């Protein structure tokens, strides 16, 4: 490299001195998938330490300092400019809806359950954001599946919100009772010993049992042999039937079933050369935001919250079949 063939500049130091340098734009590889043309200012003095600066690096790359493993990672941005605008738009719409949510005239049960679904969906979306930022979207299929199930459950609930919100709330006692029994029946384990020694155990078990018996009849479903059994979820049907009821069978086949195959270690999805479509960052982002947009629209409609024409049109598109 010919030093003086670059663009001549003078750089000031912290101590006030000025050093002559020549800037060269050099294609720099940070990892096999990240090549950036970086401006290097090469000094005429050998006394200046090597520094990686913001210009051309920190303004186009993510930098992660991991103090636990003493690692520094440089990764490409997880959103391009277009996707960043979409992400910001969704967050602004969410803020608009939540600020007006206290004004919504809804039964307390519906209000509380809607808030739970929004919070859980936001938590899953935050987890997906972490995968996108870290470049580890191979773990995204299970989270995408969770988002779709949350979106379908909420859509089903809001078709008849008051009784279904109550049903959702009462299923709490089914899960609580079964979970408490699982802990109590576990022959070994620290938690089991603590429960056994707790002075509140008898009272807690009595209450759990009473509440379970009170709501149990609400969740009994028929079996093929003419008997009854306890449903495994609050909406009392397999997820596939729920999707069909909402006319989202194509989404079930293309997204949910495919993600389930990944989560269950299906041989097709564990084949080393088999890439999963739901691990592609662009698809993960699109599907995740679509699910969240659906919940936002349903919440806005339920609370009769006014949206701008642009907000409504964007959220309305999310309600269409993805497939």
Nearest Cα to 296, choosing from 83, 87, 95? 95
Class of residue 83 by CB neighbours under 10 A (exposed 0-12, middle 13-18, buried 19+) = middle
Q: What is the pLDDT of residue 49?
A: 76
In tens, the pLDDT along 109-161 reads: 999 999 999 999 999 999 999 999 988 898 999 999 999 999 999 999 999 99
Higher pLDDT, 212 or 15: 212
In tens, the pLDDT along 29-52 reads: 887 778 889 999 988 877 777 776
pTM here is 0.85
Task: Give residue 259's pLDDT band: very low, low, confident or very high (50, 70, 90).
Answer: very high
Q: What rounded mean pLDDT belongs to the chain?
A: 89
In tens, the pLDDT along 280-311 reads: 999 999 999 999 999 999 999 998 999 999 99
* Residue 203 clears pLDDT 90, i.e. is over it: no
Which residue is it, tokens 């991991």? Answer: 66
Q: What is the pLDDT of residue 18?
A: 80
CA distances to 121, 130, 196, 300 from 154, rounded to whole Å, are 10, 24, 38, 13
Backbone phi and psi for residue 174, each to the nearest 5 degrees, phi listed first: -65, -50
In tens, the pLDDT along 50-62 reads: 776 778 888 888 8
Say how many CA atoms lie within 13 Å of 272 toward its Cβ. 0
Q: What is the pLDDT of residue 19?
A: 82
Rounded Cα distance, 86 and 6, in Å: 39
């Amino acid at each position: 490299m010919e030093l003086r063939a670059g663009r001549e500049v003078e750089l000031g130091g912290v101590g006030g001195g000025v050093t002559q340098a020549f800037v060269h734009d050099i294609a720099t590889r940070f990892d096999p998938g990240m090549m950036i043309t970086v401006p290097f200012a090469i000094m005429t003095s050998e006394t200046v330490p090597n520094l990686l600066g913001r210009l051309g690096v920190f303004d186009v790359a993510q930098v992660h300092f991991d103090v636990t493993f003493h690692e520094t990672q440089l990764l490409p941005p997880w959103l391009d400019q277009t996707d960043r605008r979409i992400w910001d738009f969704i967050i602004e719409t969410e803020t608009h809806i939540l600020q007006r949510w206290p004004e919504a005239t809804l039964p307390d049960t519906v209000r509380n359950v809607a808030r739970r679904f929004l919070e859980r969906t936001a938590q899953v979306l935050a987890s997906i954001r972490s995968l996108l930022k870290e470049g580890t979207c191979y773990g995204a299929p299970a989270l995408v599946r969770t988002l779709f199930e949350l979106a379908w459950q909420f859509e089903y609930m809001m078709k008849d919100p008051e009784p279904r919100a109550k049903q959702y709330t009462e299923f709490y006692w089914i899960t609580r009772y079964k979970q408490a029994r699982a802990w109590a029946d576990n022959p070994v384990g620290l938690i089991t010993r603590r429960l056994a020694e707790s002075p509140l155990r008898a009272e807690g078990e009595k209450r759990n049992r009473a509440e379970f018996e009170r709501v149990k009849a609400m969740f009994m479903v028929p079996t093929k042999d003419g008997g009854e059994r306890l449903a495994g979820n609050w909406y009392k049907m397999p997820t596939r039937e729920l999707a069909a009821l909402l006319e989202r069978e194509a989404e079930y086949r293309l997204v949910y079933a495919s993600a389930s195959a990944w989560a269950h270690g299906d041989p097709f999805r564990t084949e080393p050369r088999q890439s999963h479509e739901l691990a592609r960052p662009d698809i993960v982002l699109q599907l995740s935001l679509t699910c969240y947009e659906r919940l936002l629209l349903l919440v806005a409609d339920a609370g009769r919250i006014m949206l701008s024409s642009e907000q409504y049109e964007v959220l309305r598109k999310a309600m269409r079949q993805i497939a």
